[in-house]
Amino acid sequence: MIRVRRLFKSFSYAAKGLHKTFKEEQNLRIQTALSLIAFLLGIYFQISMEQWAEIVTVICLVLFAEIANSAVERITDVLKPRINSYVKEIKDIMAAAVLLASIAATVVGLLVFLPYLYKFFGQF
């Protein structure tokens, strides 16, 4: 049986975490702004459902990676580099995950939007 009150509480915690991360992480704000641009381009160019699925998937991948990176950074900050030499490596690895997700999103965005942009600017 679903406990509605408990479910709403968990959504509330998630919203608080998202708000805190958005407020404190500059990269998440930049990635969100770029995501909004992709959404606006998708609406303007009336991209297909398959293209929407691709765009939404890579946007969620990047935002998830950034939020996970923020969580891991906070966990590793508790350890402090002087206590554990792996802290810097862990942070670098998580940053690499975000970078990889961002590169994938850029490639997908270019594959989806370049033909539309080429047609649009070819009209001038």
User: For the chain, what is the domain count?
Assistant: 1
Confidence (pLDDT) at 123: 73
Q: Is residue 4 part of a domain?
A: no
Q: Is residue 31 part of a domain?
A: yes
Reading the block at residue 14, the tokens are 């998630």
Q: Is residue 11 part of a domain?
A: no
Alpha helices (runs of H) in 25-85, residue ranges in sequence order: 26-45, 49-79
Confidence (pLDDT) at 79: 76
Q: Is residue 15 part of a domain?
A: no
Which CATH number fits the domain that encloses residue 54? 1.10.287.3610
Tens of pLDDT, residue by residue over 18-50, are: 999 999 999 999 999 999 999 999 999 999 999
Domain interval for residue 114: 27-122
Residue bearing tokens 């998202």: 18
Q: Is residue 55 part of a domain?
A: yes
123: helix, strand or coil: coil
Q: Is residue 6 part of a domain?
A: no
Q: Is residue 8 part of a domain?
A: no
Residues of the chain under the 70 pLDDT cut: 81-82, 124
